[in-house]
Amino acid sequence: MKYTKNNIFNLFALVILMTVVIISCSKEENDLTFGSPTTFFKIGNEDTLTAPSVVYFNNASKNVDSYQWSFPNGKLIENNQVTDQEEFIGIEPDGVYYGEPGSYSATLTTSADGTENSQTINFTVLKPQPNITFNVPAIKFQEPVTFSTTVYAYPGKENDITYNWDFGDGQTSTQKEPTVTFEKPGVFTVTLVVNDTQEELTVTREIEVKGELAPTLYFTDAATDKLWTKKLFVVANSEPEVTDLSLGFHPLGVAIHENTVVVTEAGANLQYAAWGTPSDGRIIKSNLQGQNMKVITTTDEGGNAYVRDPFSCDVDEEGNLYWLNRFEGIRTLPIVSENAEYPAVSIALLAADIGESSTYGWTDGDVKIIDGDIWYSKHGSGKGLYVYNKDGSYKTKIDGLASIKIRSFDVDLENLKIYFALNIESGGFTPGLYVSDMNGENITLIDELSNFSTEGGAAERTYITDMVMDTQNGYIYYPFRDASDIDDSGSVIGDGSSSGIKRYKLDQSEAPEFYIQGFIPYGVAIDKENR
């Protein structure tokens, strides 16, 4: 390489620059390394010192030559093992174990250039307080629950600890882990007094003992014009409770979807009336407490309007409402609707589908959503039970019930049975509540429903307008209106003492019985959510 004057100058400049960098770095290193010696340490986990505890000491000393640690009554941890050593030489120990609560001290002594300095820290290892825990996510009345506690035990005194429990309901125990059963729901204060051989320690905990969770039966009452509820408890008793929802004439159908109650009100005219009779029916909804009432839709006017008043109803899982009137067929709206225009019929029973010459004027019975399908019955001038797809297309009919006038029905998919109310003698059967196989065969009378009101007359007997399954507890519920409480015209003439809600065991092990009396019900439904 040929060196020019410029090359020599550049090389000289580079050497000067490197010399400056080296001197600068050396100066910074000297500044970091040299200075006055300091002795300082602290406890890294001082907020969590409860016996037994491992204490971690953080050494922040500077510019010293050696470190000597002393921790009386502590035990050095080396290689993750607790030793008996109370001293340590080195920058900082891995940890020091203190097995008992008490006051302790730790000292760090350093030396620099033959001069020693030391720092001492005093600290306290606390005794952990007892706690109260139990072995279930939620405490329920009349179900056993086991309580337990975590207590510090002094070495050799583990078996001398005593426990005194007070569960706030009159029950006490001296066991370490007692099992108790609360006979009533409510809020209770559980108190535990522990004697650990050194002192008495007291701890309390407020607990909620939940009542029985169960579905809720909803039913309308013509005597009070209100919607009522009753918890379907198995263990405890429950009383009917009135909701805030006021009802109009003939609330024939009730349906529940999530937190919404829907009621179909048929109005004053349940029997055929003169052409041009105005409508007075509507469909309303509220929350489960009967509050925040809204009108979903009101029967439209014009023509023979009263025949379009809503009768029976049901709601599918998606929140679509289906309902019937006198004979026209099935209408539907989402239950989120408010003040919606009264819709046209979406499903009508066609004679060609079922092999009849005519279905004109066949009286509508009941509608139910069963396993994703729409089931639809006819009574009065009609007959039979029919199944449709959700898109409205005809699917099938129940052959064994083809000649039966079915006012209302429900289907037990678990036991594969159809329950139905026959309101007018037909198919060789007299009025009553019946059960059959899924094909309509093996029809069996369950309840003669003696003295049931003849409201509606011989051809249009109102009868049982609704029934509902409680598959959780194994019953079917249905309304009973005695003739002494409701007359032929539908007027309330009694106090409801002979009327109410009846039920029948789905496994057929019990006779029909009154579940509730003192009410004059039409529509019934069950909120199947255990609340």
HEC sequence for 353-375: HHCCCCCCCCEEEEEEEECCEEE
Q: Which residues are registered as beta bridge partners of 509?
A: none
For 420-432, write each residue's pLDDT tens digit.
999 999 999 999 9
CB 49 within 8 A of CB 125: yes
Pairwise CA distance, residues 193 & 204, whole Å? 9
CA distance 48 to 176: 26
Q: What is the layout of strands, in order, in the sheet containing 363-370?
A: 363-370, 373-379, 385-388, 394-397
83 residue type, one letter: T
| Residue spans of the chain under pLDDT 70 | 1-34
DSSP type of residue 381: T
- The string of DSSP letters for 465-503 reads ---EEETTTTEEEEEE-BTTTB-TT--B-S-STT-EEEE
Cα distances from 317 to residues 312, 372, 402, in angstroms, run 17, 8, 28
Instruction: Supply the pLDDT for residue 340.
Output: 98
Binning the chain into helix, strand and coil, the percentages to the nearest 5 are 10, 40, 50
CA 462/CA 490 separation, integer angstroms: 9
Can you tell me the distance from the alpha carbon of 471 to that of 503, in angstroms, rounded to the nearest whole number? Answer: 12
Query: Per the confidence metrics, is the pTM higher than 0.95?
Result: no
Of 460, 527, 470, 472, give the one whose Cα is nearest residue 504: 470
Distance (Å, whole) CA 59 – CA 94: 11
* Alpha-helix residue ranges (DSSP H) falling in 303-422: 351-354
Q: What is the pLDDT of residue 19?
A: 36
Note the pLDDT of residue 302: 84
Smallest Cα–Cα separation from 367: which of 414, 403, 331, 400? Answer: 331
Among 77, 44, 38, 76, CA closest to 60: 38
d(CA 231, CA 298) in angstroms, rounded, equals 31
The region, left, alpha or beta by phi > 0 then psi within -120 to 50, assigned to residue 473 is: alpha
Q: Using one digit for the tens of pLDDT, what is the confidence trace for 209-248?
A: 998 889 999 999 999 999 999 999 988 889 999 999 999 9
What phi, psi does 154 have (nearest 5°)?
Answer: -65, 140
pLDDT computed for residue 14 by the predictor: 39
End-to-end CA separation in angstroms for the chain:
95
Sketch out the chain's domains with CATH numbers: 41-125 (2.60.40.10), 133-209 (2.60.40.10), 216-527 (2.120.10.30)
